[in-house]
Amino acid sequence: MAPAPSARAPFDGVALLAAPAVLILCALFVYPFAYGLWLSFAPAVGGALANYRKFFGDPFLYGTIATTLWLALPVTLLNLVVAVPVAMRVRLMRNQRVLTTILVLPITLGVVLIAQGLLTYLGPQGWFNRALMAIGLVSHPIRLVHNYWGVFLSLFLTGLPFTFLLTLSHISGIDPALEQASATLGANARQRFFAVILPLLAPGLAIAFCLSFVQAFSVFPSAILLGAPAGPTRVISIAAYQAAFEDFDYSMASAIAMLMGGVQLAIIAAVLGLRGLAYRGPAGGGKG
Amino acid sequence: MAMRAAAFSELRFDRISRSFGPIEALREVTLTIRKGEFIALLGPSGCGKSTTLNILAGLLPATGGGIWLDERRIDTLRPEERGFGMVFQNYALFPHLNVRRNIGFGLAMRNVARGEIARRTQEAIALVRLEGHEDKLPAQLSGGQQQRVAIARAIVIEPPLVLMDEPLSNLDAKLRLEMRAEIRRIHASLGATTIYVTHDQEEALSLADRIVVMQGGGVRQIGTPDDLYARPASLDVAEFMGFRNRLSGEAIESNGSETMVRVGAAHLRAAGAAPVAIGMRGTLVMRTADLSPAPQDASTIQARVTAGEFRGDGFVCSGASEDGAELWFTSPTRVAIGETVHLRVEPGRARFYPEAGA
């Protein structure tokens, strides 16, 4: 008779190979997080919840959540809406790599460089406004920097390559024969996209949304450089920065950072929850 | 379930060509298919048979020629406008849709009323014998069941043409035989004009009304299975149809339908496709099953046995002829390796193809 399977697997020495990684993770992530969490409940004055009470009692502070969401959610959605058709097209191209390289270039340039570039390009004396005035579309320069739209555009430009790459890899995983099959069954391009491609792409898009959203939600440099950090683009990371480095209230800064993480987690949980409703099996059409 | 939409009388390929850069994958293929026929496109891989099918389905544009459905030119239409049912080699079932919705997909795209979709889908499910699996996803089905879904999905839209691209090549040997019978049964009950691509001559012989043998991007021969099996028009086709033994010889006597061919010291009687003049050199071919050991006489070929393999009802052996040609023959009894045997061809089963330009 075979021995009954034991509830605990026997100790495997190979598992020790994971130890360095676990240690690094603890040192760089788990410890700072736990410390921050503890710090947020240990304000200089007041009880354990004083920071949180202060945050939610002050519209100048709790308003930053809405401000940040109002930037991050539309930007992430726009990124996806633009990335999907581009990826659909690039997937069919023979010299994919050239185009992919061009599209990915902004990632390598860094956020600050792009912000600086946009500042001059979109500014009142920039090419964009001058071109608009030259063709007579506007009589005065339109204001595109130091407000919501400056930050929005910068986030869009820096986020798009990232979203595009994620989307491209998901789209490439869909068997082209499925699209051909649906075409022979009478589906036009629009029907093929909505009945076959999109349902198979949905789980991948959910992941792309989460990753792009997290990036956009932690916006900081462009909100300061291209936005109006005192008003319309006073995002949550600015509030945390001010608490830490202008008021030197690390406890409050930690509380804001924890809230920031909480909001991100809530959005991601909601998106992944929706993803659970979609089909998540293989995106191939059968054997072979 | 009857094919209602099959209102055409013939499908015509008019000098269809396709090149990929400098490579000509298809050279001026001309072919006429009548309504209700089961046509097999047969050929080795790379012969252009799948290219032909993809051009017909609209998945690949032709670079020359035209396709006509009676008086209507169809090669300029988009695939979704052609309305042909296609069965893909890897089935290409929609992985996120259950069996019922996979099969009903084509009807839904045509905005058929909900009730009618349900009724016709159920009919198709019954036709391919998949009752009880309606709510399963493709990944929960076996290969043979997936194949049935793919067939049902293609025929439920009642297409004028059903296109099948090596539909059985992903199945194991036993299932392949079963599905072959199934495809024959479905064709018999619907009468749908079917174009079936395969590299398996047995499949083509057993299913098709007519076989189109393709090679190197062109049509080599079109004929009924009987015709092709017994009378391949050229040496290439003969080889592809299983005439495995090749001996070079010289015509010494010919009466038009039969030729006496001298191979070494032996004189063999052969049929041929082309008229043969005395003294012409060429290739004599015969199947493994038609060559077996016999008492030595003027018509036997001498060979030394190099290998033997037991096949249940006898032995399939290989040997080397005197001039070194490899021969394959059958023997009811075991023959020893190294032994010398005299081989005789079944009367009327050898064919002689004179060398071009000889």
pLDDT in tens, B286-326: 999 999 999 988 889 989 999 988 988 889 999 998 888 89
Q: Which of A123-127, B148-152, B279-283 has the highest mean pLDDT?
A: B148-152
pLDDT score of B272: 78
Residue B199 has pLDDT above 60, yes or no: yes
Between A104 and B33, the higher pLDDT residue: B33
Find where tokens 């893909």 sit: B88
Is A132 within 8 Å of chain B by CB? Answer: no
Contacts of residue B104 in chain A, CB cutoff 8 Å? Answer: none
Kindly state the average pLDDT of the residues B13-37: 91
User: Which percentage of chain B shows pLDDT scores above 90?
Assistant: 53
- Cβ <8 Å between B80 and A180: no
Residue A268 has pLDDT above 90, yes or no: yes
Please check whether residue A227 is in contact with residue A143, taking contact to mean a CB–CB distance below 8 angstroms: no
pLDDT confidence band for B357 (50 / 70 / 90): low
Residue A182 has pLDDT above 90, yes or no: yes
Residue A97 has pLDDT above 90, yes or no: no
Between B1 and A189, the higher pLDDT residue: A189
B interface toward A at CB cutoff 8 Å?
Answer: 57-59, 78-80, 82-86, 88-96, 105-106, 108-110, 137-139, 143, 146, 150, 153-154, 157, 163, 170
pLDDT tens digits for range A151-160: 999 899 888 9
Between B352 and B5, the higher pLDDT residue: B352
- Cβ <8 Å between A184 and B93: no
- Taking the C-alpha atoms of residue B321 and residue B330, their distance in angstroms, rounded to an integer, is 15
Is A5 within 8 Å of chain B by CB? Answer: no
- Cβ <8 Å between A184 and B109: no
Contacts of B5 (CB under 8 A, 6+ apart): B83, B157, B158, B159, B160
Between A104 and A180, the higher pLDDT residue: A180
Among A180, A185, A201, A280, the residue to mutate for chain B (most B Cβ within 10 A): A185
pLDDT score of B358: 44
Q: Which two tokens mark A149?
A: 């739209």
Count CB neighbours of A5 within 10 A. Answer: 6
Nearest residue of chain B to residue A190 (CA atoms)? B109
pLDDT score of B273: 66
Please name the helix (run of DSSP H) or strand (run of DSSP E) that holds residue A180, with its range, or none: helix A176-184
Q: Which of A71-75, A231-235, B22-26, B171-175 has the highest mean pLDDT?
A: A71-75
Select from B86, B146, B154 the Cβ nearest to the Cβ of A286. Answer: B146
- Taking the C-alpha atoms of residue B50 and residue B20, their distance in angstroms, rounded to an integer, is 14
Kindly state the average pLDDT of the residues B117-131: 92
pLDDT score of B213: 93
Contacts across the A-B interface (CB distance below 8 Å): 105
pLDDT confidence band for B2 (50 / 70 / 90): very low
pTM of the entire structure?
Answer: 0.81
Count CB neighbours of A24 within 10 A. Answer: 10
pLDDT score of A8: 67
Contacts of residue B165 in chain A, CB cutoff 8 Å? Answer: none
Contacts of residue B85 in chain A, CB cutoff 8 Å? Answer: 184-185
Please name the helix (run of DSSP H) or strand (run of DSSP E) that holds residue A134, with its range, or none: helix A127-134
pLDDT confidence band for A69 (50 / 70 / 90): very high
Closest CA to A76 of A159, A18, A19: A159
Please check whether residue B107 is in contact with residue B142, taking contact to mean a CB–CB distance below 8 angstroms: no
ipTM for this model: 0.81
- Cβ <8 Å between B170 and A195: no
Q: Which two tokens mark B4?
A: 């209602």
Kindly state the average pLDDT of the residues B327-339: 90
Strand partners, B281: B250
Please check whether residue A255 is in contact with residue A40, taking contact to mean a CB–CB distance below 8 angstroms: yes
CA Rg value for chain B:
24
CA distance A175 to chain B (A): 8
pLDDT tens digits for range B216-261: 899 999 999 999 998 898 888 998 888 999 998 888 888 877 888 8
Please check whether residue B148 is in contact with residue B130, taking contact to mean a CB–CB distance below 8 angstroms: yes
Closest CA to A158 of A98, A226, A240, A204: A226
Residue A280 has pLDDT above 80, yes or no: no
pLDDT score of A10: 74
Contacts of residue B83 in chain A, CB cutoff 8 Å? Answer: 186
- Taking the C-alpha atoms of residue B2 and residue A280, their distance in angstroms, rounded to an integer, is 37
Contacts of A58 (CB under 8 A, 6+ apart): none
Which residues of A, range 193-212, sit inside 8 Å of B by Cβ? 195-196, 199-200
What are the distances in angstroms from CA A128 to CA A110, A158, B152?
Answer: 22, 19, 57
CA distance A205 to chain B (A): 16
Please name the helix (run of DSSP H) or strand (run of DSSP E) that holds residue A66, with its range, or none: helix A59-90
Contacts of residue A199 in chain B, CB cutoff 8 Å? Answer: 96
| Total count of residues recorded for chain B | 358
- Cβ <8 Å between A186 and B83: yes
pLDDT score of B196: 95
Select from A186, A279, A286 the Cβ nearest to the Cβ of B93. Answer: A286
Please check whether residue B246 is in contact with residue B237, taking contact to mean a CB–CB distance below 8 angstroms: no
- Cβ <8 Å between B95 and A285: yes
Kindly state the average pLDDT of the residues B98-106: 95
Please check whether residue B20 is in contact with residue B62, taking contact to mean a CB–CB distance below 8 angstroms: no
Contacts of residue A185 in chain B, CB cutoff 8 Å? Answer: 80, 85, 105-106, 109, 153-154, 157
pLDDT tens digits for range A208-247: 999 999 999 988 888 888 888 888 889 999 999 999 999 8
pLDDT confidence band for A260 (50 / 70 / 90): very high
Is A125 within 8 Å of chain B by CB? Answer: no
pLDDT score of A231: 81
Contacts of residue B151 in chain A, CB cutoff 8 Å? Answer: none
Contacts of B303 (CB under 8 A, 6+ apart): B319, B320, B321, B322, B327, B329, B340, B341, B342, B343
Nearest residue of chain B to residue A284 (CA atoms)? B95
- Taking the C-alpha atoms of residue A82 and residue B215, their distance in angstroms, rounded to an integer, is 46
Contacts of residue A196 in chain B, CB cutoff 8 Å? Answer: 94
CA distance B165 to chain A (A): 12
Mean pLDDT, chain B, whole residue set: 89
Please check whether residue B234 is in contact with residue B222, taking contact to mean a CB–CB distance below 8 angstroms: no
Among B20, B54, B109, the residue to mutate for chain A (most A Cβ within 10 A): B109
CA distance A84 to chain B (A): 19
Select from A186, A191, A288 the Cβ nearest to the Cβ of B170. Answer: A288
Contacts of B237 (CB under 8 A, 6+ apart): B213, B215, B220, B221, B228
Residue A5 has pLDDT above 60, yes or no: no
∠ at Cα A48 (A45, A53), nearest 5°? 80
pLDDT tens digits for range A40-49: 998 888 888 8
3-state per-residue secondary structure call for A20-61: HHHHHHHHHHHHHHHHHHHHHCCCCCCCCCHHHHHHHHCHHH
Residue A30 has pLDDT above 60, yes or no: yes
Least confident stretch, A72-81, A257-266, B318-327? B318-327
- Cβ <8 Å between B57 and A284: no
3-state per-residue secondary structure call for chain B: CCCCCCCCCEEEEEEEEEEECCEEEEEEEEEEEECCCEEEEECCCCCCHHHHHHHHHCCCCCCEEEEEECCEECCCCCHHHHCCEEECCCCCCCCCCCHHHHHHHHHHHCCCCHHHHHHHHHHHHHHCCCCCCCCCCHHHCCHHHHHHHHHHHHHCCCCCEEEEECCCCCCCHHHHHHHHHHHHHHHHHHCCEEEEEECCHHHHHHHCCEEEEEECCEEEEEECHHHHHHCCCCHHHHHHCCCCEEEEEEEEEECCCEEEEEECCEEEEEECCCCCCCCCEEEEEECHHHEEECCCCCCCEEEEEEEEEECCCCEEEEEEECCCCEEEEEECCCCCCCCEEEEEECCCCCEEEECCCC
Residue A254 has pLDDT above 90, yes or no: yes
Nearest residue of chain B to residue A287 (CA atoms)? B90
Mean pLDDT, chain A, whole residue set: 87
pLDDT confidence band for B105 (50 / 70 / 90): very high
Q: Please report, to the nearest 10 degrees, the dihedral formed by the alpha carbons of residues A48, A49, A50, A52 taken in order.
A: 140
Please check whether residue A263 is in contact with residue A237, taking contact to mean a CB–CB distance below 8 angstroms: no
Contacts of residue B5 in chain A, CB cutoff 8 Å? Answer: none
pLDDT score of A180: 93
